[in-house]
Amino acid sequence: MAYTINRTDGTAITTITDGTIDNTTSLTLFGKSYSGFGEFLNEDLVKLLENSASTSAPTAPLRGELWFDTNTNQLKVYDGSTFKPTGGSKAQATAPTSPSAGDLWLDTDDNQVYVYTGSAWQLVGPVYTSGQTLSGWKIETVTASTVNKVIASMYVGNIRVAVLSKESFTPDGGSPSGSPLASNGFATIAAGLTLNSTLGAQYSGNSAQASAIDVSSTSNTSATVIAGGNFLRADASDTTTGALTIDADSGIIIGDTQELSITVSSGNVTLAQTRQDKDLSVTINDGGVTKTPIAITGSTGNIGLTGDVTITGNLSVSGEYSNTTSNINVIDDAFVKLNSGNSEVDAGIIVETSDTDDARMFYDVSENYWAAGENASYSQIIRLADAVTDGDANKEKVLKTTAAGNVKVTSATLGAVGSNIATSDTSNANASSIGQVAESITRWGGSYISDDSSNSIAGKRYIETSAPTIGQGSNGDLWFVREA
């Protein structure tokens, strides 16, 4: 009668006929009445005792079967597809060879535990070797006013360098590991990271963010480690002894609403008052008095200058010049040049009056002479070169005297006849009018003849010491008696 061999779960493995053996599994199974079954039975028992200890895995293993791998001295279990370590660890100075994922190894040199990941040994802990002593983070419990506080301490070479805490507190005198916090550089613990004060511990290197800086000292520890007190503050007025350089074209912005800006574009600098209709002023301290030599009005764009202005170079004005005071404008230059750079047009000086076109003195380019006048009526301004000495030959010209003091004209008319010429006025240099001369002749050069009711021309005049003889004179003659 054949044997049917079943697994623990009741499923059949194989059927063995009488008088035969079966090698479906890693053991030798034999049927009923098999001759020499005793040897195979005893060998099967030995395999079970030593868990098939061998350098190679058992053939035809069953899931759950144990195998002691003599290559690695590890007990392994078959999971249905491969043999895997049962979780045992190795304690030796060097890493085990041919490990399987999940194997543990205690490095007896450094007293550190490793786990095999399937490709490499990964350190489990501790993070420091036995020679390095306690180094790294350690979770500890301390007390503050007898209340337990959980902290994380950072050790280096068995010295606590920093404490990480979720809250601020003052530790009691006792402390874990026989190293009291209060007497070993941690009199107080702050929320966050607290450094050991006895070591002079500090942060060194780059930090992405910092919420505060200690400005109590201005003593630098080195050329590259600068005390907090030497940094400019943004929350208070501050002073720097060095030059302030802003290496960006966006420049400087000042004011609670950013009114003033100094910016650069393509090498050009712009000083701007950006707030609408607000002024920009430049003030100075003149002997203790604040003065504003330059004032720019934001609502109009006008520029006001107060004080003397010195310009070295040319002054070009495209608009009008307006003097709002009655002060006299003083110009030190010998000449004032008008109309420079324009086409040739009339140019000169205008004095504002109530008349049309005011009063003007200008150069008339069409006539090539200076003219003056007011109320849109102008005439030539006469120069000495425009005057002539001979008015008889040069009509309609301005006259001047000759070297002898003479003036020659064709005729001259006085403004009035004038009064009678007094015979005693011998020093009068005024010119006589024709009327004055005629009157004098009438009065002194002849007599009125009434017999013909007309005036006769004056006759002869006689100046004698004795009366004229008969036949010397005629009617109307005058006789002046001159005493002997």
Cβ-contact 182, 196 below 8 angstroms: no
**CA atoms of 155 and 127, how far apart (whole Å):** 11
Q: Which residues are bridge partners to 81 per DSSP?
A: none
**Top-ranked range on mean pLDDT: pick from 36-40, 112-116, 259-263, 309-313:** 259-263
pLDDT band at 295 (very low <50, low <70, confident <90, very high): very high
Q: What is the DSSP letter of 61?
A: -
Mean pLDDT on 437-459: 51
Identify the pLDDT of residue 458.
46
**Which single residue is written with the structure tokens 């950072």?**
154
| 3-state secondary structure at position 332 | coil
Q: Tell me, what DSSP letter sits at residue 185?
A: T
Per-residue pLDDT of 184-210, as tens digits, reads: 889 999 999 999 999 888 777 777 777
Q: Is the pLDDT of residue 60 over 60?
A: yes
User: Cβ contacts of residue 218 below 8 Å, gap of 6+?
Assistant: 227, 229, 230
The residue among 154, 251, 268, 333 whose CA lies nearest residue 260 is 251
Checking if the pLDDT of 447 tops 80, the result is no
The one-letter code for the residue type at 27 is L
Distance CA 229, CA 137 (A): 33
What pLDDT does 454 receive?
46
Highest mean pLDDT: which range of 70-74, 274-278, 419-423: 274-278
Task: Give buried/exposed letters for 113-149 (b at 16+ CB in 10 A, else e).
Answer: ebbbeeeebeeeebebeeeeebbeeeebebbbeeeeb
> In this structure, what token pair is assigned to residue 3?
């044997």
Q: Give residue 452's pLDDT.
A: 43
Between 131-140, 250-259, 424-433, the lowest mean confidence (pLDDT) is in 424-433
pLDDT of residue 74: 81
| Of the candidates 65, 94, 100, the residue with the CA atom closest to the CA atom of residue 81 | 65
Is the per-residue pLDDT at 475 higher than 50?
yes
For residue 356, the surrounding DSSP H or E stretch is: none
pTM: predicted TM-score of the whole model, two decimal places = 0.41
Q: Does 455 score more than 60 pLDDT?
A: no
Q: Which residue has the higher pLDDT, 423 or 335?
A: 335
When pLDDT is cut at 50, 70 and 90, the band that residue 465 belongs to is confident
| Residue 76, both tokens | 């392994």
pLDDT-based confidence at residue 176 (cuts at 50, 70, 90) = low
Strands 104-107 and 89-92: parallel
Residues 292, 306: contact at Cβ < 8 Å?
yes
Residue ranges per structural domain of the chain: 89-125, 136-199
Beta carbons of 96 and 81 less than 8 angstroms apart: no
Distance set, CA 297 to CA 279, 284, 308 (Å): 5, 18, 20
N-term to C-term CA, the chain: 223
Q: Between β-strands 159-165 and 192-195, what pairing exists: parallel, antiparallel or unpaired?
A: antiparallel
Dist CA 7 CA 24 (whole Å): 12
Q: What is the pLDDT of residue 451?
A: 39
Separation in Å, CA 332 to CA 86, 220, 309: 112, 60, 13
pLDDT of residue 174: 60
The answer to whether 55 touches 98, Cβ cutoff 8 Å, is no
Q: How many CB atoms lie within 10 A of CB 418?
A: 16
Residues present in the chain in total: 484
Counts for the chain of helices (H) and strands (E), in that order: 2, 31
Distances (CA, A) of 315 to 24, 312, 339, 349, 421: 117, 9, 14, 19, 66
Q: Distance (Å, rounded) from C-alpha 342 to C-alpha 321?
A: 17
Question: How far is the C-alpha of 385 from the C-alpha of 433, rounded, in Å?
Answer: 31
How many CB atoms neighbour CB 234 within 10 A?
6
Structure-derived torsion over alpha carbons of residues 170, 173, 175, 181, reported in degrees to the nearest 10: 50
DSSP β-ladder status, 303-305 and 347-351: unpaired
Find out whether 139 and 150 touch, Cβ atoms under 8 Å: yes
pLDDT cut 70: percent of the chain above it:
90
